[in-house]
Amino acid sequence: MVRMGAGDLVYVPWPETAFAAAHVLSVDEAGDAVEVKVETTGAVQRVPISLLRQRFVREDGVTSQDNTSLDHMNDATILENLESRHAKDDIYTYTASVLLAVNPYKDIPGLYSDEQCA
């Protein structure tokens, strides 16, 4: 189990988006639950540590072409990386030798151009 402390950056389960970015406010005495503050809403809630996912913030906006290079590889960070890449029209992302493709639902100029396919 990962140890958590006040100030740690985490993802918590969230109904609307699968996960929400949060930070740990405190850890209970038994060490099995934490109080977190969700960054988008300001909501404070108690969450079992087993439901948290570690989070790393990249201030430069760079995404990972391969999910295996993420600082914390878990379901929440993979979804966040895919979402960030999709927003930049980078619809292809590897996870080791597996290629993940997210449908852009639009034409992306140059995606299948002669230069790109050469």
Q: What is the pTM assigned to this prediction?
A: 0.82
Per-residue pLDDT reduced to its tens digit, 58-88? 888 899 999 999 999 999 999 999 999 999 9
Please give the Cα distance from 5 to 27 (Å, whole number).
6
pLDDT band at 113 (very low <50, low <70, confident <90, very high): confident
Is the per-residue pLDDT at 24 higher than 80? yes
Please give the Cα distance from 10 to 55 (Å, whole number).
5
pLDDT band at 1 (very low <50, low <70, confident <90, very high): low
Per-residue pLDDT reduced to its tens digit, 33-53? 999 999 999 999 999 999 999
Helices marked H in the chain: 75-87, 114-117
Contact between 9 and 21 (Cβ < 8 Å): yes
